[in-house]
Chains A and B, each alone.
Chain A
C-alpha cells in the first residue's frame, strides 16, 4: 500500500504536508507483544499524535474507521462518511486493529516533536514519515534515530497526457487510492470561484472521499483558493 506516496506540489507546498503512519505488521507476532499490551501502546501512540495538532487523524478500531479532519463538522456528514472529534478518537474504548493509525501535519516542528516523543516512548510500532526527504532526515537526526528504509518516487510514467491539470492533480493525489474524482475537484474550484462555497468547505467535501483520511484540508483549501483566483 503506497497511499501517501506521490503527493504532488511545489517544495514550498510540500513543506506544509507531512503524513505520519503507524503500523504493526500482521505477520510479525513479536511486534504485537513487544513492551506490553497493544491496547496500552496504541493509547500512548494516539496521545502523542493528538498532542501536535494534526489536521487529520485516523484510528482503526474494531473494524471501524474513526476519522478526524480539520474543518469537518457533523453537519457535513454524508453517505457513509462520518466525522469523529479528536476526543472521540483519543478516548475510544474500541480495540485497535492491526492497521493502526495515521496523522497529517502541516509543520515540520510538529513532526519533529512526534518522532522525538515516539522514540522516547519505545512503543515498538513501525513509524513512517511521508514528506520531503531532506526535511524528514533532518527531523530524524534531531530526534536521534537513523532512517531504516526509504521509498522514493520516480513519478508517473506512460500516457501522462491523460492526467488532469496541476491544481486538480495536487488535490487528487492527496488521496493515494484516487477516491477523489478530478471532476469533483473541478466542481469545488468552480463553486469557490462563483462564491457559492468557502474554500475550507470545498476542501472538506473532497477530503471526505479519502476513506484512509490522509487528506490535508488545510493545504487543499489553499490550492482551491488559488485555482479559483486564477480563473482557469
Chain B
C-alpha cells in the first residue's frame, strides 16, 4: 500500500482493495513487485480511463503524440528546434505535481483561463485533447478522469508574459490541487531577459532550474 503514490490502495475489514476513483493507473505498485500474493494486475483500459495510464505512467507513450513521459522535449532541444525564440516566453504548468495528482476538470480550468492569452504547444498530449480556442476538452468524458500529473505547455511574447502569470495566480485559487510552474526563456548572452521582468512584477524564480548549454547541432 505504501508504494502507491496517491494512496489509492486501502485496507478494510481484512481485505485490501484499490479505490478506482483515486487510482491513476501509474503502475507503480505493479513495477515494485511487492504484493506478497502477486494479486495486482492492470485490466485493459478503455476510453477515457486509458488517459490515466498515458498521463501517469512515464513508460507509456501517448498514442496521439507518440511521446512517452508527460510532455514534449520543451527547451531541452531548443538549440536545434527553435521552439522558443528570442522575445518569447514559454510556460509548463504541471497540474498535480509534485505528487498530489489532478483531475482533468482542474486541468481544464487552467487551460480555459489561458486560452485567449497563449499559443498551446501542438505536440503536447494535453493540447491534443483540447479545443485550443476555448481551452476546453473536446470530449467532456475526459473531465471525470485523473492523472498523477498533466502538463499544459504554451508560449506567448515576453510582453504578455506577466499577464499570463497573473492569470495563473488567479486560477490557482480555483483548483483542488497544486501545479508546479516552469518559465522558459531564450538567453541573451548570460541573461534571461524575462527573469528581470518577472522579478519586477513580484515573481521570484527558485535558485535552481535547467539550462540548455547550447551544444546541439545544427543550431536552429
Chain A 117-136 interface 0/1 with B at a Cβ cutoff of 8 Å (1 = within): 01100111111111111101
B213 touching A160 by the CB < 8 A rule? Answer: no
Indicate whether A211 sits within 8 Å of B215 (C-beta atoms), given known contacts A7-B208, A159-B175.
Answer: no
Is the pair B216, A124 in contact by a Cβ cutoff of 8 Å? Answer: yes
Whether the Cβ atoms of B218 and A148 lie closer than 8 Å is no
Q: Is the CB of B179 within 8 A of A164?
A: no
* A-B Cβ contacts below 8 A, count: 298
- Which of B13-21, B65-73, B126-134 makes up part of the contact surface? B65-73
The answer to whether A182 touches B99, judged by C-beta atoms less than 8 angstroms apart, is: yes
Contact A1/B218 with A126-B212, A146-B189 known, Cβ cut-off 8 Å: no
Q: From residue B30, how far is it (CB to closest CB) to chain A in Å?
A: 7
From A78, which residue of chain B is reached at the shortest CB distance?
B33
Q: Does the CB pair A152–B177 fall under 8 Å?
A: no
Proximity bits, A153-167, B CB within 8 Å = 1, else 0: 111111110111000
CB distance from B173 to the nearest CB of A (A): 8
Q: 8 Å CB contacts to A: which residues of B1-53? A: 1-5, 7, 26, 28, 30-34
Whether A209 touches B28, Cβ cut-off 8 Å, given contacts A149-B75, A151-B210, is yes
A8 to chain B, nearest CB (A): 8
> In whole angstroms, how far apart are the Cα atoms of A154 and B172 in the complex?
13
Q: Please tell me if the beta carbons of B178 and A162 are within 8 angstroms of each other in the complex.
A: yes
Q: Which of B96, B172, B198 has the most CB of A within 10 A?
A: B172
Instruction: Check if A209 sits within 8 Å of B32, measured CB to CB.
Output: yes
Contact partners of A78 in chain B: CB under 8 A: 32-34
Contact of B217 with A157 in the complex, beta carbons under 8 Å: no
Whether A152 and B195, one on each chain, are in contact in the complex, defined by CB atoms closer than 8 angstroms, is yes
A183 close to B (CB within 8 Å): yes
- Residues of B within 8 Å of A149, CB to CB, are 75, 78-79, 84, 184-187, 211-212
A169 in the interface, Cβ–Cβ < 8 Å? yes
Give chain A residues whose Cβ lies under 8 Å from the Cβ of B185.
Answer: 149-150, 152
Question: Is B74 interfacial (CB-CB < 8 Å)?
Answer: yes
Interface 1/0s, chain A 1-15, versus B by CB < 8 A? 111111100010010
Q: How far is the CA of A155 from the CA of B34 in the complex (A)?
A: 33
In the assembled complex, how far is the CB of residue A161 from the closest CB belonging to chain B, in whole angstroms?
Answer: 9
Of B112-120, B138-146, B199-207, the one contacting chain A is B199-207
Contacting pair A2 B179 (CB below 8 A)? no
Closest chain-B Cβ to A204's Cβ sits at a distance in Å of 13
Decide if A133 touches B3 in the complex (CB within 8 Å): no
Q: A4 to B149, alpha carbons, bound, how many Å? A: 14
How extensive is the interface on chain A, given as a class?
35 or more
Interface of A is mostly: mixed
Chain B residues within an 8 Å CB radius of A118: 215
Contacts of B208 in A (CB 8 A): 7, 14, 130-133, 153
Select which of B26, B172, B212 is within 8 A of A148 by beta carbon. B212
Is the Cβ of B218 less than 8 Å from the Cβ of A34? yes
List chain B residues, Cβ under 8 A from A156: 97-98, 178-181
Chain B 145-164 per-residue mask, 1 if CB under 8 angstroms from chain A, else 0:
00011010000000000000
Query: What B residues does A80 contact at CB under 8 A?
Result: 30-31, 33
Contact B207 A133 (CB under 8 A): yes
Q: Collect the chain B residues with CB atoms within 8 Å of residue A164's CB.
A: 99
Whether B63 sits at the interface, judged by CB under 8 Å, is no
Q: Which residues does chain B contribute within 8 Å of A158, judged by CB atoms?
A: 172-173, 175, 177-179
- Smallest distance from the beta carbon of A16 to chain B beta carbons, Å? 12
Q: A3-B69, A179-B26 are in contact. Are A31 and B217 (CB under 8 A)?
A: yes
30 A-B residue pairs with Cβ-Cβ distance under 8 Å, sorted by A, are: A1-B74, A2-B180, A23-B73, A28-B77, A122-B215, A122-B217, A124-B218, A128-B76, A133-B209, A145-B214, A146-B187, A147-B212, A150-B187, A151-B184, A151-B210, A152-B192, A152-B205, A154-B181, A155-B181, A157-B169, A158-B173, A159-B177, A164-B99, A176-B98, A178-B148, A179-B58, A184-B3, A187-B2, A209-B3, A209-B31
**B interface residues (Cβ-Cβ under 8 A, vs A):** 1-5, 7, 26, 28, 30-34, 58-59, 66, 68-81, 84, 92, 94, 96-100, 123, 148-149, 151, 165, 168-169, 172-173, 175-187, 189-190, 192, 195, 198, 203-218
